[in-house]
Amino acid sequence: MGKTKQLAKELGFVRRRRISSHPTQGFQVQNSDNSGGNVANQTFDYVIVIDFESTCWEEAKLNSYQEIIEFPAVLLNMTTGRIESEFHHYVQPLENPILSEFCRSFTGISQKFYERRPNGLSNAMLDLGLEFSGRQHSGLDDARNTARLAWKMKQDGCPLIITKSLNTGS
C-alpha cells in the first residue's frame, strides 16, 4: 500500500466499503462513456478532490507560516467520471493578510477580492450570484435571504441534510 493511502487510512480519511451484489465479491461497472474500460472493486461511489492554495513568497519568509487562502473541492462520480458538484471559497489570511506579489502572480488571486468581500450571509449569497435583499441582521430579511440561498443551493444540486441533531440518541 502506498504511503499516501496508508497515511490517509491512519488519519481516518479512508474508510473501506465493499460495493457488491454478494458479500464476498465485488462487481465491475462498465464505464458510461463506452470506453470499454472496467472499474473493478471500487471502494467508493464518489471522491472529494481538494486542492488548497496558501500564502507564499518567492523566498522563505522568517517566522511566517503558510495560511490557506483558497479552499476548493469537487465531487467526482467514480462510476461516470463526471464532476457532480463543486465548492469554492477564498479565505482571508490572518497572519499575513496582504498577499505577496509572488503569491498573487502564482495563484492568480487578487488582493482586491479580499478587500471587497462582505462577511456572513451576504458573502454566501454573492458566492452563488445572489444579491442580498433588505437590511442585514433583520431577522425577517435574513430568513428570507437564507431561504433564497437554500433554494439556489438545491437548484445547483446541493443536498440539504441535517448536519447535527439535538437528539442525543442519533
Residue 99 DSSP one-character state: P
Residue for grid cell 458573502: 123
The residues that are catalytic are: 53, 137
Under the banding of pLDDT at 50, 70 and 90, the label for residue 88 is confident
Residue 118: half-sphere exposure toward Cβ, Cα within 13 Å: 11
Percent of the chain having pLDDT more than 90? 18
d(CA 47, CA 78): 7
Q: How far is CA 65 from CA 57, 95, 109, 111, 155, in A?
A: 11, 8, 18, 19, 39
Q: What is the pLDDT of residue 23?
A: 38
Q: What single string gives the DSSP state of each residue in 24-40?
A: TB--EEE-TT----EEE
Of the candidate ranges 83-87, 120-124, 145-149, the one whose mean pLDDT is the lowest: 120-124
Instruction: Tell me: pLDDT of 101 over 90.
Output: yes
Higher pLDDT residue, 143 or 22?
143
The whole-model pTM stands at 0.47
